[in-house]
Chains A and B, each alone.
Chain A
Amino acid sequence: MATPERPTVIKVLLIGPSSSGKTSLLKRYVDDVFEPDDTTTTIGVDFREKKLTINKKLYRLLLHDTAGQERFRTLTSSYYRGAHGILLVYDVSNRDSFLSMAGWFAEAERFAPEGVIKILVGNKTDRTAQRAVKASEGEELAQKYGAIHFTETSAKTRDHAKEPFQKLIEAVISTPGALDANRPVAGSSAVDLAKEDPNNAGCAC
């Protein structure tokens, strides 16, 4: 039986350079599929939803997949607002993609709410022969930029593919204040547009 309780919303962003496998990881996580020769780059932003029950509590996970390609970026300051967690994804078989991560951390730093939980992901571990980034380098980068967790994944083989999502959710749920801290601030002063003042039908001049 579904509880009448409203699910708690957790907003997660996936960011990182184009072709690092953000969309693939997301599909793996949400639908458990992988499309190998999919050359489809994300344009704009994709939006997926997943409902979770954790400890009998209902959560609505809003996953925003973004475009890594500069020309299709729709990330804007407002887009980051209210985010609880950010997955920063690079490709372990592509050195440039790893090197670009400082820029992605900077962007997250700039736009995301304070205290947002960041996780660094090195994807495509199945491409062992082409590996261009050591795990220790990823570890170091995560530490440097305050990501709470680093993991290497393969969306293709499923290797650890769900881990970053799960760690993120776990952290958001278990960190005191993380869920409401990033909610729109200053609730008291904000005007509730959905609630018209019943006592007042305009000015009683």
Chain B
Amino acid sequence: MTCLPTPAPGAKKLGLVIDLDTCVGCQGCATSCKEWNASGHSAPLPDYKPYSAGAEGVWFNRVHSYEAGEGAEGRTVHFPRSCLHCETPACVTVCPTGASYKRAEDGIVLINHDTCIGCGLCAWACPYGAREMDEQQGVMKKCTLCVDRIYNETIPEAQRQPACVLACPTKARHFGDLGDPDSAVSRLVAERGGQPLMPELGYKPVNSYLPPRRRPDPAPVEDAPTQMDIRNPVLRWMDRVLSR
């Protein structure tokens, strides 16, 4: 069913919180995502021409780098982009087959690869570019929030997290229930002022991006002059006398 489910009050809203202050753009999350998902729920995740010019393939997570602002205020920000598991996503409602769906129990947006006809309409409907066509299987693929890890009882509990979150060397990625105001991720969003992407489109993204922190005031603080700075011998003598 591609009509959106009405979540029960208190239902989970699983998602990611991504810290743009600490992300160093290492591509670790993207690579780890590709590795896990090439053999998980969405497998295979094809690469076309992997060993020659024009190598490209399906990835669920793409790490961009931007320059924001000018001059002393300007800075480089690394920016991982993946499905935001929106609350009211048109990628689900436009699907003619019911293959694209949002789970009522935790809000994860998934695709049934056995019924998808590969029309591509859901990719047009996603403002964030979170869906990529598997052109070999002829079906759409996207981030599953590692649905095959987070509920997976065959792996140690500490590893029941999305692959990207576990891979991040700077702990810039956090996974949790954003529907619960007391969860660690919700508190992080509240403390750091987490932001949704393109809220004006009305898709209500669940994932949240923590803004880069403001730098401390960059104006240099002037130190008191030392003896060495005072060239004039008279002034140096006075300084010594007065400093006693």
Chain B associates with chain A: no
Q: Residues of B with Cβ closer than 8 Å to A?
A: none
Q: Residues of A with Cβ closer than 8 Å to B?
A: none
